[in-house]
Amino acid sequence: MKHLAIILAALAACVSLEAEVRLSPLFTDNMVFQQRVKAPVWGKASPGATVTVTPSWNGKTYSCVAGADGKWSVKIDTPKGSYKRYSVTISDGEPLTLHNVVVGEVWICSGQSNMEMPVESWRAVRINKNDIDRASEYPFLRLLYVTKTTGMSPRDRFDAENDGWTESAPKTARAFSAVAFYFGRALQKELKVPVGVIETCWGGTVIEAWMSEEALKGYPEMAPGLERVRTLAPAETDRELTFKKEMARFVEQARKDDKGLSGDNPLWADPAFDDSSWKTMILPEKVQKLWPGINGVYWFRKEVEIPTGWAGKDLTLSLGPVDDYDDTYLDGVYVGGDSQWNKAREYKVPGKYVKGGRSVLCVRVTDDHGDGGLYGAADQMFLEAPDGQRVPLDGEWKVELSLSFETRPVSPSREPNLTTVLYNAMINPLVPFAMKGAIWYQGESNAGKAYRYRDLMRDMILDWRRAWGMEFPFYITQIANYHPVSPVPGEFSWAELREAQDHASRTLEKTGIACTIDLGEAEDVHPVRKREVGDRLALLALARDYGRKVVEAGPEYESYSIGQGYIRIKFSSVGSGLKVIPSGSFAEARYGSDAMDSELVRKAESGELAGFQIAGADKVWHWADARIEGDEVFVSSPEVPHPLAVRYGWADNPVCNLFNSEGLPAYPFRTDDWPGVTQGVL
């Protein structure tokens, strides 16, 4: 009888475990419900089970019956947003309670690496440190970080970092999207209600990866990609197994070919190794500064003088982010490694490996795509004793390329630049979660096909709205300035991509563009000033969706008229007036050190209105003289006596300085519609 009781108890426990409702990571402790809506709540349970959802704000119970596949869904009424903390209980007989639930505003934040770029990452840590330290001051800013993954067909579930929603805090904010964090913080401070931001993004991705198959069917050039994804879909497990085998062979061969290794012995990490023939770099810096365009295995070495009093003590080694993977050694002893390219490295060095005096720090970096190396912030690089004393590690290092990569295996299960795969895995599982709107920062990866992007951007917005069944607000970050400054006017793909973003926005209701033409950097596609990006996106939402009386954007081209030898440009959104604002301390980063002595930059930084071009019937562009009169700018050039068209900010990295008095930059524009470099490119 005793044995029977044990068996029955075990069976009951199994039934209970099986019966417990299973929820998406959208529904966890700390979550944010969109205010004043009928918010869907869904999950899985045993087929035929009755599921109830009871929020504490009204005590009302909502119920439904799980279908044959176990799926269930109800809609619950949400109250006005406030700083009240609630609970929500979901039960199919076994209750599950979500705690610290709040009600306010929810926004989805998506795109590629400039949306993904964390608050604490690369060089940004030096300007964001105070915001990271104070992140706990905003407990009603809630963060949800969707784990990067791909799907060959639409999925109904995703994984989340930290297992779901978290309150804003230094630990959770530092790895979160900087744009999303600052956007949400700006809204929360102004609206005085909780704000939830959902980060779902992936660096280096094209827009078609974020669109559904239905949305892409009308694009003939997408047909091969769609067919490939369909072909791959049935065998995902087998594909991943094949990829792992290919990758294992690649890594094994790379280790064999790496001159710095002999088996598992890191020859080049030996403190006695002679690195006198190696090149010298001042870190932090991208290794491609010495080896342009080359991916591979790089070794970095630095002699460090460790205070004698530190001998035998546990130390903290901080390197900042390492792009892409690292194996780090102190005096030939392995102390740590990681494979997340944008994660700041921090390793504990056991005291038994620490001796006073000369030591050698060595970092083996595997850079498998894009730029790589140790190029975070100088103040992220240090050795630290338990009492907080530090030895800085920025400055001069020795570096050598051990192995260059021609190609590397790419997982068809994880490759993010296949059509539909990010929509399937990182957007579809969010549908139909109740939210207010979306912000978007992507386009750099589509610049070569900028004209086609006009249609893709429009159709992606329509695609997402169709999925949610609502015309929600959608705000686009216009890609920032990047690349060397061109001394002459011309045709530029990044200028055309910005125009494509603007064109898509103008064709749809409830959309807008945040201009960042002054925030980019000539030598880094990942500019650090993300707070301004988030704040500018928030201005659009505050003005258009929340009724705040704010100047939402910078001067925007409205119309033009041709006079005798000049063209007059009229602007809207001039705020308190048009104004020239030089870049000042940001000028060198914005334009690049090589351009600082150019006439274009010198004039712009001296306070002369810059960035305008003018052309006549010959369609030859010339730099123009420009002057502000009220809310208009008069543009002319002695080289163009009979002008027909004007452009402003028309370059990959334009030298331009027109703002409104509120400090928001004028949008790049052109009055012509002459064919550019990407028209017809599919």
Judge: domain 259-404, CATH 2.60.120.260. yes
Strands 474-477 and 511-514: parallel
Helices (H), ranges, 358-492: 421-422, 450-468
d(CA 250, CA 245): 9
631 bridge partner residues: none
Minimum mean pLDDT among 273-287, 412-426, 512-526: which range?
412-426
Q: What does the pLDDT read at residue 10?
A: 41
Lowest-confidence pick of 188-202, 333-347, 392-406, 597-611:
333-347
Q: Is the pLDDT of residue 18 over 50?
A: no
Q: What is the mean pLDDT of the chain?
A: 93
| Alpha-carbon span 344 to 341, nearest angstrom | 9
- Ranges of CATH 2.60.120.260 domains, the chain: 259-404
Q: Which residues is 570 bridged to in the sheet?
A: 559, 632
State residue 234's pLDDT score: 61
User: What is the reported pLDDT for 53?
Assistant: 98
**pLDDT at site 6:** 42
pLDDT on residue 246: 80
Asked if the model's pLDDT at residue 1 lies above 60, the reply is no
Q: For residue range 178-215, what is the model confidence (pLDDT) as tens digits?
A: 999 999 999 999 999 999 999 999 999 999 999 999 99
Q: 679 near 451, Cβ under 8 Å?
A: yes
pLDDT at 11 over 50: no
The answer on pLDDT for 17 being more than 50 is no
pLDDT at 271 over 50: yes
Domain with CATH 2.60.40.10 in the chain: 2-200
Q: Are 296 and 403 in contact (CB under 8 A)?
A: yes
User: What's this model's pTM, rounded to 2 decimal places?
Assistant: 0.81
Helices 125-133 + 178-191 axis angle, to 10 = 40
Give the tens place of pLDDT for each residue, 366-407: 987 778 899 888 999 999 999 999 999 999 999 999 999 877
| pLDDT at residue 236, as a whole number | 65
Return the CATH number of the domain spanning residue range 2-200: 2.60.40.10
**Interval 138-164: pLDDT, tens:** 999 999 999 999 999 999 999 999 999
